[in-house]
């Protein structure tokens, strides 16, 4: 596993465990958070990363968390995952700089491919 890059997964449901296993199988370091608040409190933002965000979560939503990161000047590839998305929501996320917007249920290979691409994105130095 590469300690200099990490996939952060912020999701309040069982998808969190499934994608953790997927990314570990691909030899990626992964850290999971059940809420946006836990991510903001505990995530180390000093290494290359990708953030996988669920759109709908109690409290701060994935969209709210993305806005918070942008407001703090944190430019990190964000991939939104949602079972409740629509075209306007996806367009708005992409306009704000999201790396991708993927609907649940997603194809594991597609998700892994997008995460690997985000981790190699040269527009970021660290999280």
Q: Which residue range forms the structural domain that includes residue 83?
A: 5-120
- Residues 105, 115, 72, 123, CA torsion sign: negative
Q: Record the pTM.
A: 0.90
- The SS3 call for residue 108 is helix
Where residue 40 sits, what CATH number does that domain have? 3.40.50.2300
Is 14 a domain residue?
yes
Is 46 a domain residue?
yes
Taking the C-alpha atoms of 23, 101, 48 and 40 in order, what is their torsion angle to the nearest 10 degrees? -100
Is 107 a domain residue?
yes
Is 126 a domain residue?
no
Residues 75-125 have pLDDT tens digits of 899 999 998 888 999 999 999 999 999 998 899 999 999 999 999 886 655
Is 30 a domain residue?
yes
7 - beta bridge partners? 30, 50
pLDDT of residue 98: 95
- Counting the structural domains of the chain, the total is 1
């Amino acid at each position: 596993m590469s300690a200099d890059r990490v996939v952060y997964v912020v999701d309040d449901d069982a998808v969190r465990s499934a994608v953790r296993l997927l990314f570990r199988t691909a030899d990626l370091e992964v850290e999971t958070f059940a809420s946006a608040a836990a991510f903001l409190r505990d995530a180390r933002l000093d290494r290359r990363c990708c953030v996988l965000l669920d759109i709908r979560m109690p409290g701060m939503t994935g969209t709210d968390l993305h806005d918070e990161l942008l407001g703090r000047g944190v430019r990190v590839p964000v991939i939104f995952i949602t079972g409740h998305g629509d075209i306007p929501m996806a367009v708005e996320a992409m306009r704000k700089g999201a790396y991708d917007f993927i609907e649940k249920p997603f194809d594991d290979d597609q998700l892994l491919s997008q995460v690997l691409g985000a981790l190699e994105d040269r527009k970021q130095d660290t999280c």
